[in-house]
Structure formats: C-alpha cells, structure tokens
Amino acid sequence: MIYESSYEGLREACRNFDLRRERLAKGAIERWLEPSVGPGLSSDKLLSHIIADAMLSRMDKRLVEAKNIYLESFDIPQIELFYAMTKGYPQVPKAHDIANQYLVHELALHPKATFVEIGIGRGVQVKNVVEELAKNPGKLRDLTILAIEPDGANIATSTALLGELKDLPFAFRVITKQGLLETFTETAYADLAATAGDVVVMNSAYTIHHTVHPLGDAALRTRLFAALRRAFSPKLFTLVEPNANHDTEHLGSRLKACFEHFGTVFDLIDKSTLSPEEKFVIKEKFFGREIRDIFGTSDNYRCERHETLDSWLLRLVKAGWEPYTELGRIDVTLPTYCSASVDDGLVRLGYRGLPLLAVFAYRGDSSNNGRP
C-alpha cells in the first residue's frame, strides 16, 4: 500500500478507538498532526494530517451534522474545486468523455429522446453531449434535457449554460427538477417518467455515492436503481463513480480504503504539471473536504460514501439492469502512466495498478420487465 508506514500508525489508533481506549487513540492520532500545512508538505504527511485532524473531531465528540458538501458554503465552492481538480486527475475528465461516447451513440439512434441527468452540476458534461450530437445527430430530431439537481444555484448556472446553445439541428429544451434523488416518492418518479416520455437515456456522474441512508440500511441505492429502472426503462444508463470502500461503518476498514484510494490519487496529482500551490489546493481543499466528511462527520449524516466497483456492479444486477454492449470501439486514451480496461458495460480507469474510477454502461428498457 502507498504511504504504508503512515497507515500503520493511524491503524493502531483506529483499533484503540474501536476498543474504547480513546485516551490512547487520541495520543496516537495527535502525533500525525503537522505544525505547518502548505504546498511544501509531502503528500503522505498531508494525507495523514487531514485524517488525523478529522479523527480528532470524532474523538472530541465534535461530529459535524453536515449536508452534502457540494451544497455547503465554502470560501471556494466544492463544485468549482471539482473542475480545477480535473486538471491533475486525468481519469476524471476521461470518465466523463467515455460516458459521453455511450450517451451520444444511443441518443443518435432515436428521432426523439430525453436525456435524464442526475446531478447536472454546472452543466458542462451535458453541454458537451449536446455539442457532440450537433456535429452528428444521426436520427435525432428532438431532444429534451431533464435535469435532476438538489442545488438551485447549479440549476440556474447549468440552465444558462445550455441556453447558450444555438442553431442546433434538432429541437431542444431543458426541464429541471430540484431535489435529492433519495427523497423522491414513487409518485414523483412516475411524474418525472411521464415528462421524459418513451425513449430515455440517463447519466449520473459522481452523484449516487452522495445519497445518505440510515445506519444499517445498505440496500437504499439498490432500491434507487430499481426505482429508476421501473420508472424510466432507460435505453442506456451511464454511471460514473470512484472505486473505494468508504460506505462501511467500520472505522478501520474506512481508514484502509482511504489510504489506498486517496493516497494513490495524491500521488497521481503529484505526477501532473500543475504548480505546487495548485496541487496543494486540490489535495487539501477538494479532497480534504471529502476525507474530513468520511472521518469527522456523524455516520448518520456523512455524504462521501464511496463504494467499490464490485459493489456498484452487484447493485445494478440486483436491480435488474443489464450491460450495454451496443457501442463498439471506445476511446480510453490516457497518459502513459495511467491504465484503462474495457469489459461489457464497464470501463476501469486506474493508476499504479489500482482502479480509481469506473464507468458503467447498463440498460434497463422494457426487455428487463420480467426481472425484479
């Protein structure tokens, strides 16, 4: 494991905390705090510092009852940091691009279609899809964007961005629905599906892992996937998610997953040509907020609940989805120090032998109606 010595030190602290030896745990964790944190701090020490700082909040019973960090007010909004982060993390924009390849392919097969975007953010990915379709629309003559998004500011920004698209070779409209996916009722799903119509293509990038579920209710996301399939019967559903086990309630397992995933990501960012200051902001501000949510937020409220790609695959299968195999060649070009592998309905994007992100392409149309 990368940064293994730092991990082993904090692992012992986690063990003491789980055994209710909080005084021993606190002393061990405090040793990993850095007196000065800035661009000159190495990635292993920065990661250990962020985790230790968050865990002390847990020790001191200062657990934050946080909302989705993308909905919080910070000096630099998390959504802005997300787009800055993509400059040092090439798998992220490539994952969007791969999902877009699937989406454009399927949308061009239909005269009239609705593109359901779960978590539209600033609208950049949707805009890219529409622009690619405009170059080669295929059969498409009428396109509706149905954007589901919890943040009103994002809805306003994305709607304005998509409103800049002119002279398209197909009719084009944008419909928005503000709210959190996990709070929608069956009636709400039915109303959205009626708005979407018969031909639906759906995308969710880095959104579903933010869904909050009660402690012990690990099946919520499987039920969400099943509800989406029943309501919309999509011709294609592209799902983009990180590969890490942060949804576990076991603190030691969460720590191991955090070092494996974020340690590898930090090392990847260090490989980029960004300035030391830019690298630090991405690691401490963007990923630091995620890590602090993972360790320093009440388990009833934390939102950074990443799952492994195997877990996402199992949920999709249990919910009745099937791999989408209609697209032939997929462009997975990445820098030479990165890796990619393609299977039916699944593209893994990695670094140092670890899959960091996965792009899933599944279908849930009427041919699946006999499934649960």
| CATH number for position 134 | 3.40.50.150
User: Which percentage of the chain shows pLDDT scores above 70?
Assistant: 92
Q: Which of 19-23, 37-41, 110-114, 302-306 has the highest mean pLDDT?
A: 110-114
Same domain membership, residue 275 and residue 254: yes
Same domain membership, residue 48 and residue 76: yes
Mean pLDDT of 310-324: 97
Same domain membership, residue 105 and residue 24: no
Query: Structural domain of residue 208, as residue ranges?
Result: 91-244+306-368
Mean pLDDT of 226-234: 97
Mean pLDDT of 225-243: 97
Same domain membership, residue 170 and residue 81: no
Same domain membership, residue 182 and residue 327: yes
Average pLDDT, the chain: 89
**How high is the pLDDT of residue 81?**
74
**How high is the pLDDT of residue 326?**
81
**Residue carrying the six token digits 């990443």:** 306
pLDDT, tens only, 150-185: 999 999 999 999 999 999 999 999 999 999 998 999
Position 109: which residue type? L
Same domain membership, residue 193 and residue 148: yes
Same domain membership, residue 184 and residue 269: no
Indicate whether 369 pLDDT > 80: no
Mean pLDDT of 43-63: 83
Core vs surface per residue 38-55: b (16+ CB within 10 A) or e:
eeebebbebbbbbbbbbb
Residue 315 lies in a domain: yes
pLDDT, tens only, 295-315: 988 777 788 999 999 999 999
| Phi, psi of 131, rounded to the nearest 5 degrees | -65, -40
Residue 301 lies in a domain: no
Same domain membership, residue 78 and residue 31: yes
Confidence of residue 328 (pLDDT cuts 50, 70, 90): confident
Residue 186 lies in a domain: yes
**How high is the pLDDT of residue 284?**
92
Report the candidate in 279, 287, 306, 239 with the shortest Cα–Cα distance to residue 96: 239
**How high is the pLDDT of residue 74?**
42
Indicate whether 288 pLDDT > 90: yes
Read off the pTM.
Answer: 0.90
d(CA 313, CA 119): 20
Same domain membership, residue 75 and residue 104: no
Residue 181 lies in a domain: yes
Residue 195 lies in a domain: yes
Of residues 303 and 202, the one with the higher pLDDT is: 202
**How high is the pLDDT of residue 209?**
94
| Phi, psi of 337, rounded to the nearest 5 degrees | -85, 0
d(CA 322, CA 319): 9
pLDDT, tens only, 76-88: 666 677 767 888 9
Query: How far, in Å, are 99, 162, 306 from residue 297 at the CA level?
Result: 31, 35, 15
| Number of structural domains the chain divides into | 2
Question: To which H or E segment does residue 321 belong?
Answer: none
Query: How far, in Å, are 70, 121, 176, 183 from residue 155 at the CA level?
Result: 13, 7, 7, 18
Confidence of residue 15 (pLDDT cuts 50, 70, 90): confident
Same domain membership, residue 62 and residue 9: yes
Query: How far, in Å, are 15, 61, 259 from residue 19 at the CA level?
Result: 6, 16, 21
Residue 52 lies in a domain: yes
Q: Is the dihedral of CA 301, 125, 96, 231 positive or negative?
A: positive
Same domain membership, residue 206 and residue 135: yes
Question: To which H or E segment does residue 263 belong?
Answer: helix 251-270
d(CA 32, CA 51): 9
